[in-house]
Chain A
Amino acid sequence: NAGVTQTPKFQVLKTGQSMTLQCAQDMNHEYMSWYRQDPGMGLRLIHYSVGAGITDQGEVPNGYNVSRSTTEDFPLRLLSAAPSQTSVYFCASRTGLGRDGYTFGSGTRLTVV
């Protein structure tokens, strides 16, 4: 079982460039989320989805877009990369049951120069 697959694992962007971080899960999970991890700041929620066609903003959504056309995929788009978006990005999924914790992808380390 693949679980949650994130690509790429590493990426360097120039300021102003756009790109999409891919996330796919094969567990038929309803809920999917994107978090960013910065030193000393834990995990901060960017966007999340409770099902195909439904997305909502987290605590740090500016500069990012998401869509959820299928249950399996939840891509994160950086519209115009900025150095402040240098971070490690994690995609995570879980069932609709509140008792179930998240399954995380292995993360993408993004550097914006």
Chain B
Amino acid sequence: AQTVTQSQPEMSVQEAETVTLSCTYDTSESDYYLFWYKQPPSRQMILVIRQEAYKQQNATENRFSVNFQKAAKSFSLKISDSQLGDAAMYFCAYQYNTNAGKSTFGDGTTLTVKP
């Protein structure tokens, strides 16, 4: 079974600074996708960024980027120029390409942004 581990239950960052959230996963598959989701205090889960395992290039979405190390099974999220609105719980998720419908989530990292 696939597992996803987020080793940092809580992180904090100063506004305008950069922070990196860690995620590791375990799988024997080669064709899969990785995601980061954001859950602000409103509770609404929002997809932040996606990485395709067969692509070596790291995904980027505005201030959000990932560092994908396939051999090490590591998938970290970097938030640049942190804003107060980035404060949320962040979940890393693994999704096997043909595993019907299921995603495996990490336990989440709560990010605090200090003004």
A: residues with CB less than 8 A from B are 31-33, 35, 40-45, 48-50, 56, 58, 88, 90, 92, 94, 98-99, 101-104, 106-107
Contacts and interface: CB of A to CB of B under 8 A. Distances in A.
A31 B44 contact: no
Interface of B: 9, 31-33, 35, 37, 42-47, 50, 52, 91, 93, 95-98, 100-108
Contact of A106 (B32, B43, B91, B106): B43
Nearest to B47: A101
B98 A40 contact: no
Given A41-B107, A99-B52, A101-B95, A50 B45 contact: no
Contacts, number: 66
A67 to B, nearest CB: 15
A103 B33 CA distance: 16
A104 B44 contact: yes
A38 to B, nearest CB: 10
Given A42-B108, A98-B96, A33 B50 contact: no
Contact of B43 (A32, A48, A50, A107): A107
Contacts of A31: 100-101
Contacts of A94: 101
Nearest to B44: A106
Interface centre among B31, B98, B108 (most CB of A within 10 A): B108
A44 B9 CA distance: 17
A101 B43 contact: no
Nearest to B31: A98
Nearest to A32: B101
A78 B52 CA distance: 36
Contacts of A56: 100
A104 B45 contact: yes
A98 B98 contact: yes
A88 B105 CA distance: 15
B44 A43 contact: no
Contacts of A33: 101-103
Interface centre among A31, A35, A40, A101 (most CB of B within 10 A): A101
